[in-house]
Amino acid sequence: MSKDHLYIFDTTLRDGEQSPGASMTKEEKLRIARQLERMRVDVIEAGFPAASNGDFEAVRAVAEAIKDSVVAGLCRANERDIARALEAVKPAKSGRIHTFIATSPIHMEKKLRMTPDEVIIAARNAVRFARNGIGDVEFSCEDAGRSELDFLCRIIEEVIKEGARVINIPDTVGYNVPEQFAERIHQLRTRIPNSDKVIWSVHCHNDLGLAVANSLAAVMAGARQVECTINGLGERAGNAALEEIVMAVRTRQDVFPCETRIDTTQIVSASKMVSGITGFPVQPNKAIVGANAFSHESGIHQDGVLKHRETYEIMRAEDVGWNTNKLVLGKHSGRTAFRARLKELGIEVESEQVLNAAFARFKELADKKHEIFDEDINALMSDDVVTPEQEHFKLVSSRFRSETGETPFAEITLSAGGVEKHAQSEGSGPVDAALKAIESVVSSGSELLLYSVNAITTGTDAQGEVTVRLSKGGRIVNGQGADTDIIVASAKAYINALNKLEAGPERVNPQV
């Protein structure tokens, strides 16, 4: 008997981006969207177009580029938001409007200051307005996990009558536990008379660490769309992790009555890309995509795996894309090979000028490092996340000194809006000295929230990828920089974050 299809709705570019510091540029969103399409995600929620012009442009660019996944735009239940989202997803081959309104007593009373009847009217009007502009409309009851069942039944029946095709039940604050959440889905599906006209979807947050468990319990109760993010990125403790949902359903086909169409071999690349772009590292023991997820340390386990792999492994590392960082290019590779590899990695360069600049950086790296892996190329291309127009600050040159018994010292030359500036500083280490020297030129007054270094590949000649998170006036930005010299990588990351602070648009969070 053929199984049901389980739709995978990825919201890394929208809910994932709502994590403080995870905001992405249009180019970064496009790169991730292309990887999600390659992974065969059914729906890509590309953003919240009414939040800012930048969000609008990013959703539109994703809608223009993606052909094999539905592209969704989020909007609150009002005509202005919906019209903006309709405009943004218009170029998509398959577009979707995802409109929502809060339905829990606390949200309706304290946040919306609306009566339940007013909320129903707004929801009906929103779905009707959206359906006039597009065929595919999803409706979400924000905070459904804490909403009254009778009220959910009323409002959902009404929006289905207005033509909603997908009904999403978010556990917005991550309050539910699996049995109770599954029962909620079951009740809604059985009590609402027109429930068979729609696809039931769930969207679980991870505040109690139960997002994946709740989503899977809901699937058992009939949900056929799961909203999730790569690496579980998202507001607060994040959303359900896509890789865990997909691999649980695939590995336990004896239990689940449905299957996804995901190309699982693309999972690790997607995870690394999202982690690299957002600067949110993946913990080593994270299921599926953590560095230790498939490594066996204890002697008994190693012995077992060597004798018969399935003694301790329920999945194969290669099925999720581990061990595929094949050697791609080297010092003697030419421009054509470089361009071809970029294409295979789904990285599109906008112009010959951008390609030439990237190729120059590739050659520079190949001189320092003989083996260039896909991860190196991804990091190399991340250097372009601030467009040349946004690149107010630029590292021109640097010199560092670190000697036993001496105070570490850094000297930096920086271009600020085309004007060269020099600075020197001492520090508790060379990285500290470099960042202090840059700050003495820029005087950003920002607060450093996070500094982290990761080796992109293995070996002591690996590039170090540095993430710097800065906060200023309520805004939080991440900067990344990669280099075989981690002090240079740190300086690049700091400058990248400063450029984002300088250029970044103000955005609105949809749920505020």
Q: Kindly list the residues in this chain that would bind ligand KIV in the complex (CB under 6 A).
A: 15, 100, 140, 142, 168, 170, 172, 203, 205, 510
* Tokens representing residue 121 in the block: 């009217």
Shortest reach from residue 171's CB to Zn ion, in Å = 9
Shortest reach from residue 222's CB to ligand KIV, in Å = 19
Q: Give which of 155, 145, 156, 153 is closest to 180, Cα–Cα.
A: 145
Q: Which does 142 bind (CB under 5 to 8 A by kind): ligand KIV, Zn ion, none?
A: ligand KIV
Shortest reach from residue 32's CB to ligand KIV, in Å = 18
CA pair distance 168, 173, nearest whole angstrom: 15
Q: Which does 19 bind (CB under 5 to 8 A by kind): ligand KIV, Zn ion, none?
A: none
* Stretch of residues binding Zn ion (CB under 5 A), selected from 15-23, 39-47, 87-95, 486-494: 15-23
Shortest reach from residue 512's CB to ligand KIV, in Å = 11
Q: Give which of 248, 207, 222, 277 is closest to 36, Cα–Cα.
A: 277
Q: Which does 100 bind (CB under 5 to 8 A by kind): ligand KIV, Zn ion, none?
A: ligand KIV
* Tokens representing residue 414 in the block: 């920086």
* Stretch of residues binding Zn ion (CB under 5 A), selected from 13-21, 326-334, 423-431, 491-499: 13-21
* Stretch of residues binding Zn ion (CB under 5 A), selected from 11-19, 118-126, 136-144, 349-357: 11-19
* Stretch of residues binding Zn ion (CB under 5 A), selected from 8-16, 72-80, 262-270, 325-333: 8-16
Shortest reach from residue 205's CB to Zn ion, in Å = 6
CA pair distance 206, 204, nearest whole angstrom: 7
Shortest reach from residue 373's CB to ligand KIV, in Å = 35
Nearer to ligand KIV, 174 or 279 (CB): 174
Tell me phi and psi for residue 200, to 5 degrees.
-95, 135
Nearer to ligand KIV, 172 or 176 (CB): 172
Nearer to Zn ion, 237 or 450 (CB): 237
Q: Which does 81 bind (CB under 5 to 8 A by kind): Zn ion, ligand KIV, none?
A: none
Q: Give which of 181, 106, 95, 193 is closest to 145, Cα–Cα.
A: 181
Nearest residue to the partner Zn ion, using Cβ: 15
CA pair distance 272, 37, nearest whole angstrom: 16
Q: Give which of 300, 282, 306 is closest to 292, Cα–Cα.
A: 282
Task: List strand residue ranges (DSSP E) for 304-403, in order.
Answer: 327-329, 372-373, 393-401
Nearer to Zn ion, 15 or 375 (CB): 15
Shortest reach from residue 159's CB to ligand KIV, in Å = 14
Q: Which does 500 bind (CB under 5 to 8 A by kind): Zn ion, ligand KIV, none?
A: none
CA 337 to chain centre: 29
* Contact status, residue 119 vs residue 151, Cβ threshold 8 Å: no
Q: Which does 140 bind (CB under 5 to 8 A by kind): Zn ion, ligand KIV, none?
A: ligand KIV
The alpha helices in 79-136, defined as continuous H runs, are 79-89, 105-106, 116-133
- Please identify which residue in 9, 10, 15, 438 interacts with Zn ion, judged by CB under 5 A: 15
* Contact status, residue 162 vs residue 128, Cβ threshold 8 Å: yes
Nearer to ligand KIV, 504 or 510 (CB): 510
Nearer to ligand KIV, 9 or 280 (CB): 9
DSSP 335-354: HHHHHHHHHHTTPPPSSHHH
Paired residues of 10 in beta bridges: 44, 228
* Contact status, residue 97 vs residue 81, Cβ threshold 8 Å: no
Shortest reach from residue 88's CB to ligand KIV, in Å = 16
Nearer to ligand KIV, 61 or 167 (CB): 167
Shortest reach from residue 262's CB to ligand KIV, in Å = 21
* Contact status, residue 215 vs residue 258, Cβ threshold 8 Å: no
Strand pairing report for 419-426 and 409-416 = antiparallel
Rg of the chain, C-alpha, whole Å: 24
Footprint of Zn ion on this chain (CB under 5 A)? 15
